[in-house]
Amino acid sequence: MTGEIKDKSQLLRFVLTPEKQVVPDLYKKLPGKGIYVSNSYALLKQAIEKNIFAKVLKKNVKLNKELLQMVENILHKNALNAISLAKKSGIAVISLEKVLAALKENKLAFLLEAEDAGQDGLKKLQNYTSDLSVYRLFKVEDLDKVLDKINTVYIGFLREEMSMMVKNNFDRLSSFLQDKCEGENI
């Protein structure tokens, strides 16, 4: 849509089903010619509104009216699943005290803070987070569900190879949501 050349990791893939329905293929596993859109809420919304899929495919296509929300839900679910995998593999450090201790020992690659966290916790961590990415993508309730814990506000991810999978999912969701407010006004 923008004509920019981007790495496929920065794009969302869609395919056309035999029923002429456009569906997200974020795992790039479905058969058929892929239609790629920048990983952006606002640009996907524009592509849907301007029926770019039909223009690119040169066919009449069916667009689910919930396609935009469907993509956001998939990205959200993938990022939450990545947190669950990180916990199971032992690379997630959970709780303010444990995160602070790991930060002091320079063991963390990045940090996740609940969207609805209070300011006091982050102030305690600020001296140690200047070089780290800090994500705010989920509410405490979401983190509690995925980790089967209560009041999960901070999660640190150890400097391990598997942490990159988690970070990639966070980056993808964060990038998609970055222009959501702007996308609402397009």
8-63 and 75-177 in the same fold: no
- Model pTM? 0.89
Domain ranges of the chain: 8-63, 75-177
The strand pair at 35-38 and 154-158 is best described as unpaired
Mean pLDDT to the nearest integer, 40-49: 94
CB-based contacts of 93: which residues, under 8 Å, 6+ apart?
A: 99, 102, 107, 108, 155, 156, 157, 158
Which of 27, 24, 13 is CA-nearest to residue 71?
A: 24
Question: In Å, how far from its chain's centre is CA 78?
Answer: 7
Give the confidence band of 28 by pLDDT, cuts at 50, 70, 90. Answer: confident
CATH number of 75-177: 3.30.1330.30
For position 37, what pLDDT does the model report? 93
Give backbone dihedrals phi and psi of 100, rounded to 5 degrees, phi first: -60, -45
For position 184, what pLDDT does the model report? 52
Burial of 180 (0-12, 13-18, 19+ CB in 10 A): middle
Which of 85, 89, 146 is CA-nearest to residue 114?
A: 146
> How far apart are alpha carbons 161 and 141 in whole angstroms?
28
CATH superfamily, domain 8-63, is YlxR-like (3.30.1230.10)
The answer to whether 166 and 83 are in contact (CB under 8 A) is yes
